[in-house]
Amino acid sequence: MKIIDRITDSALQTMILTGNANQKINVTLRFMPSQQGWFMDIRYNDFSVYGIHVVASVNLLQNYSNIIPFGFVCTTEQPIDPYRVNDFLTQNAKLYLMNELDVRAFKEAFFE
């Protein structure tokens, strides 16, 4: 599991993450002040998903775990989802990229 430590307080951010076997994962993060939250778009090969609400979760992409070999974990310092534009910058919230083994381990621990 790798922390994504380049999230700033910019309301729109795009990055390319490298997973296992040099997988290229395109991520767009948007802070929506009217929703008081962060949303993400993911593009990987032929897979795309848009508007995933970034909440404290063991795998934000759990619904797609049989389709893609990675996932995202979001943790927070307080028992509340990230709701401020600077929550990742101040590390009140942290976002991690999980590889296939991480996804499998989390799935077994939390869902089976």
For 77-106, what is each residue's pLDDT tens digit? 999 999 999 999 999 999 999 999 999 898
| pTM beyond cutoff 0.85 | yes
For 23-48, what is each residue's pLDDT tens digit? 899 999 999 999 999 999 999 999 99
CA distances to 41, 101, 109 from 8, rounded to whole Å, are 17, 28, 31
Compute the distance between CA of residue 20 and CA of residue 71 in angstroms, rounded to an integer: 12
